[in-house]
């Protein structure tokens, strides 16, 4: 806390300073001025908390000084120094918001009493102001978080199209301009080894800052490896938008190189309807999958997709039939060889694209499901392979990772089938088995007890006790066990980095993943991979 004394009589001014130091008043600095003009200069330079000023001074009287300095220091606390002859004058000054006055000469106790009172008032005001600021900040943070979650739910298609406008209005999300686009962003480490800890939030905020000078920008939390921005803008002059993106591409590339990151960004087409937001998000996701085919590119826009899909190759049905033949056979070597040949074919054929790869894998899943039923195998075979094509493309950093991940899932079920332990169809009839089947298939999603109990239409408390009674553990522990087992397969059957594996099994924080893995297995993921590969 700081104090300014404005007094034209040197002996009084210096005497006050000596007195205050003897009283050990808790002021960091005490400034002094011999007239009102000098006092104003010190107010501008040091912004003191408390100002003691005389009334009658040369150049600028006390009242004028108070009026002018209050413009600079609206929160300043003023104390009048007055003699008996100008006491009425001093009382007039109280109308200007002066907190107190001291009659000259004043005793030490009088000075201490007045200053103590003013200091306490000032501290109380500062405390109330701080509390109010914190409340406003907390409210704004909560509102921002609610807005992020709401936009994430909207982009994910969780609300009816006709209700989107009402939800946006309720959470004060306003699109002042006509057009909307969705941006998907993926940030990963460019380092080939180790366990990098990426400060996703700050990197993401930096990327968002590239566009805030030109657009209204909202963040969306979609609970995915991808991060999302929603931008709102008016119609721009031809070429202006391209200049913005070209500049952003250069800056993102340089930023990634500086921080050892691989940053990719996709842009959906522009739309004017809020109801189109889920479709724009799906388009942006598919565009970002193009990074698997263009590892050096930074920004992907709708032109990439149109150029890649002008000619769509035919789905290789013969290869799918051959792969299924090896799936029901006994040779793991043949299964692996044919699966990798199939993936290589669909990803390297001329005019291949993310959309084409998705279609091929969807057809593979469909064929396995139909043919499994014909052959009398479990009808959930296809689901156990866990072909969530879009999610797999989301978590993978390269075509090699995508191939390894799919093969690990295929091999998982092939081994169960070969050992005769594949679950029978009737077992999925109970709520607990339905939940287990769902977790086995969707372990990479952000799951919890409430979500799963809702899916099977049961009270969460009752279902929790039912699940523990049947499995011997609570649902979250069971889910974590599933994730650890899946991560073991990826550690052994792929070259993915640890943070990529942690994301792939639904644990975005690699440090927590490593701790959890060691808790369950007794070794770190790196030790597990090294030990198993040594045999």
pTM: 0.53
Q: Which residue has the tokens 């969705």?
A: 182
Q: CB of 347 within 8 A of CB of 306? A: no
| Successive 10-residue mean pLDDT values, the chain, 535 residues | 92 90 86 93 93 88 88 89 66 72 83 89 84 71 77 85 87 86 86 55 88 87 75 73 86 91 90 90 87 84 61 84 83 86 86 80 76 59 50 73 77 69 46 84 84 74 79 89 91 86 88 90 87 58
Q: Which two tokens stand for residue 225?
A: 């490896």
- Count the Cβ atoms, other than its own, within 10 Å of residue 290: 21
The single-letter DSSP state of residue 226 is S
Q: What is the dihedral of CA 47, 53, 58, 59, to 10 degrees?
A: 30
- According to the model, what pLDDT value does residue 428 have? 41
Q: Rounded to an integer, what distance in angstroms lies between the CA atom of residue 446 and that of residue 484?
A: 15
Q: Which two tokens stand for residue 440?
A: 């086995």
Q: Which residue has the tokens 């000084």?
A: 65
pLDDT digits (tens, 9 = 90+) for 163-188: 898 888 888 888 888 889 999 998 88
Burial profile 184-216: b = 16 or more Cβ within 10 angstroms, e = fewer: bbbbbbeeeeebeeeebeebbeebbebbeebbb
- According to the model, what pLDDT value does residue 372 have? 65
Going from N- to C-terminal start, the domains of the chain cover: 2-106, 154-307, 317-533
CATH no. of 2-106 = 3.40.50.2300
β partners of residue 28: none
Architecture per CATH, 154-307 = 2-Layer Sandwich (3.30)
Q: Which two tokens stand for residue 220?
A: 């969306």
pLDDT digits (tens, 9 = 90+) for 474-514: 899 999 999 999 999 898 888 888 888 998 898 988 889 99
Q: Which two tokens stand for residue 176?
A: 């002042």
Task: Give the CATH superfamily of 317-533.
Answer: Homeodomain-like (1.10.10.60)
Please give the C-alpha separations between residue 330 and each of 55, 278, 299, 364, 404, in angstroms, as whole numbers.
Answer: 102, 44, 44, 20, 20
Q: What is the dihedral of CA 282, 283, 284, 288, to 10 degrees?
A: 100
Q: Rounded to an integer, what distance in angstroms lies between the CA atom of residue 424 and that of residue 165?
A: 46
């Amino acid at each position: 806390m700081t104090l300014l004394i404005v007094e034209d009589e040197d002996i009084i001014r210096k005497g006050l300073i000596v007195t205050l130091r003897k009283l050990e008043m808790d002021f960091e600095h005490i400034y002094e001025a011999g007239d009102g003009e000098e006092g104003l200069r010190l107010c501008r330079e040091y912004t003191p908390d408390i100002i003691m000023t005389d009334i009658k001074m040369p150049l600028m009287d006390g009242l004028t000084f108070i009026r002018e300095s209050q413009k600079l220091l609206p929160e300043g606390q003023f104390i009048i120094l007055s003699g008996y002859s100008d006491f009425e004058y001093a009382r007039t000054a109280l109308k200007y918001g002066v907190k107190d006055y001291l009659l000259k000469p004043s005793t030490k106790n009088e000075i201490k009493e007045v200053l103590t009172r003013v200091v306490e008032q000032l501290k109380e005001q500062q405390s109330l102001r701080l509390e109010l600021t914190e409340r406003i900040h907390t409210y704004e943070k909560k509102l921002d978080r609610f807005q992020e979650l709401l936009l994430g739910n909207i982009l994910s298609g969780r609300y009816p199209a006709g209700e989107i406008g009402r939800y946006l209005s309720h959470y004060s999300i306003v699109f002042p301009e006509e057009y909307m686009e969705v941006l998907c962003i993926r940030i990963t480490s460019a380092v080939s080894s180790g366990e990098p800890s990426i400060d996703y939030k700050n990197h993401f905020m930096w990327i968002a800052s590239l566009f805030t000078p030109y657009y209204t920008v909202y963040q969306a939390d979609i609970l995915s490896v991808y991060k999302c921005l929603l931008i709102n803008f008016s119609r721009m002059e031809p070429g202006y938008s391209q200049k913005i993106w070209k500049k952003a591409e250069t800056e993102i590339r340089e930023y990634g190189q500086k921080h050892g990151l691989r940053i990719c960004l996709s842009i959906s087409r522009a739309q004017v309807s809020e109801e189109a937001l889920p479709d724009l998000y799906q388009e942006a996701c598919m565009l970002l999958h193009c990074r698997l085919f263009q590892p050096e590119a930074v920004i992907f826009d709708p032109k990439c997709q149109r150029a890649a899909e002008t000619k769509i190759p035919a789905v290789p049905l013969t290869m799918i039939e051959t792969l299924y033949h090896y799936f029901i056979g006994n040779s793991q070597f043949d299964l692996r060889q044919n699966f990798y040949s199939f993936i290589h074919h669909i990803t390297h054929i001329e005019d291949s694209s993310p959309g084409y790869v998705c279609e091929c894998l969807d057809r593979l899943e469909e064929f396995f499901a139909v043919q499994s039923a014909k052959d009398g195998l479990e009808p959930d075979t296809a689901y156990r392979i866990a072909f969530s094509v879009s999610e797999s493309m989301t978590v993978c950093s390269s075509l090699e990772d995508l191939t390894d991940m799919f093969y690990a899932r295929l091999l998982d079920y092939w081994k169960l089938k070969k050992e005769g332990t594949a679950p029978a169809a009737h077992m999925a009839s109970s709520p607990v088995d339905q939940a287990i089947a769902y977790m086995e298939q969707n372990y990479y999603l952000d799951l919890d007890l409430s979500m799963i109990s809702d899916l099977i239409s049961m009270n969460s408390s009752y279902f929790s006790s039912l699940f523990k009674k049947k499995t011997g553990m609570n649902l979250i522990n069971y889910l974590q066990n599933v994730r650890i087992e899946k991560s073991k397969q990826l550690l052994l059957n792929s070259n993915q980095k640890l943070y990529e594996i942690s994301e792939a099994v639904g644990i975005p924080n690699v440090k927590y993943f490593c701790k959890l893995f060691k808790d369950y297995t007794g070794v770190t993921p790196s030790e597990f991979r090294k030990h198993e590969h040594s045999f």
